[in-house]
């Protein structure tokens, strides 16, 4: 099995994250807009084909956007292939697509390559933000205020730590078991090398998640911000632990940092 020497780790959280999804596209400056009717004014009709690919998480949003756009521009065919965020970015930078959906902004180097490919400006911008509820159950804690800014700081710190270690970190979150299972099984196709997973309450009973972790064929590190063995009896059981390469518990948000530190040890 060939492994990337600079592993990409994807963090799945059952509760605690906010996911921002973006889109990249070439500017129109490198397109030939002349159709022989240069004298037309305003509201020029559009025709042709617009091809894009990328994040599976954006597939439903892209379908809605396509329907609205093609409704106003019936002579335009819009395609979107949900091949994964990494695959979409690579195809866009290589010049195979006019736009791509991504779970993260392109790096400065990627943006420079995209501009070179586009022959002009390449734009990246957020298209929507997916909000979530943060669920906690901590003994002695009756009120916990985790603002969006605090959560963003946790995510930014983990992502920055990943970059310093040579990892490309992306985040996925859902309160739905099926979505987590789908992401796990699609991770290898998205060129993920390792997974850091916080299953939350699913830790204790989700055999579907357990099977998906095993079926992913990737090294997985289980993380819990609290010490599950110091909590209620039913929380001390993890049905996913035996299919994970390692478990890190009780270090708070630092557990994600420790997991990133350990990724090279389980992928080399």
- Give pLDDT tens digits for 76-127: 899 999 887 778 888 999 999 888 888 777 778 888 898 888 888 888 877 6
**C-alpha–C-alpha distance, residues 236 and 222, integer Å:** 14
CA–CA distance, 98 with 93 (Å, rounded to integer): 10
Indicate where the chain has its CATH 3.40.190.10 domain(s).
Answer: 47-122
Superfamily grouping for domain 9-19+131-267: Dehydroquinase, class II (3.40.50.9100)
214, 187 Cβ separation under 8 angstroms: no
The pTM is what? 0.52
Query: What percentage of the chain carries pLDDT values higher than 70?
Result: 74
CA atoms within 13 A on the CB side of 104: 16
Residue 147 C-beta-side C-alpha neighbours within 13 Å = 3
Determine the pLDDT at residue 34.
43
Instruction: In the chain, list all ranges with CATH 3.40.50.9100.
Output: 9-19+131-267
Query: Residues 6 or more apart from 203 whose CB is under 8 A from it?
Result: 14, 222, 224, 228, 235, 237, 238, 239, 240
Hey, what CATH class is 47-122 in? alpha beta
Distance in angstroms (rounded) separating the CA atoms of residues 151 and 108: 25
Min mean pLDDT across 80-94, 136-150, 172-186, 233-247 is at 136-150
C-alpha to C-alpha distance for 107 and 11, rounded to whole angstroms: 19
């Amino acid at each position: 099995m060939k492994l990337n020497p600079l592993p990409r780790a994807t963090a799945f959280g059952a509760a605690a994250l906010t996911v921002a999804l973006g889109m990249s596209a070439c500017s129109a400056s490198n397109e030939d807009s002349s159709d022989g009717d240069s004298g037309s004014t305003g509201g020029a009709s559009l025709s042709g084909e617009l091809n894009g690919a990328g994040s599976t998480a954006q597939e439903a949003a892209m379908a809605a956007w396509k329907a609205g756009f093609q409704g106003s521009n019936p002579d335009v065919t819009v395609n979107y292939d949900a091949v994964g965020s990494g695959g979409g970015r690579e195809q866009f930078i290589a010049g195979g697509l006019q736009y791509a959906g991504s779970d993260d902004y392109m790096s400065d180097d990627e943006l420079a390559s995209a501009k070179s490919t586009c022959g002009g400006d390449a734009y990246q911008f957020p298209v929507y933000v997916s909000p979530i509820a943060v669920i906690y159950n901590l003994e002695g804690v009756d009120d916990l205020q985790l603002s969006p800014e605090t959560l963003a700081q946790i995510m930014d710190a983990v992502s920055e730590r990943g970059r310093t270690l040579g990892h490309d970190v992306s985040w996925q979150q859902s309160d739905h078991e099926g979505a987590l299972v789908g992401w796990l099984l699609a991770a290898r196709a998205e060129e993920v090398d390792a997974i850091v997973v916080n299953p939350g309450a699913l830790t204790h009973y989700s055999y579907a998640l357990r099977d998906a972790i095993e079926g992913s064929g990737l090294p997985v590190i289980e993380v819990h911000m609290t010490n599950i063995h110091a909590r209620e009896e039913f929380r001390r059981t993890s049905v996913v632990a035996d299919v994970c390469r390692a478990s890190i518990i009780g270090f708070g948000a630092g557990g994600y940092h420790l997991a990133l530190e350990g990724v090279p040890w389980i992928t080399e």
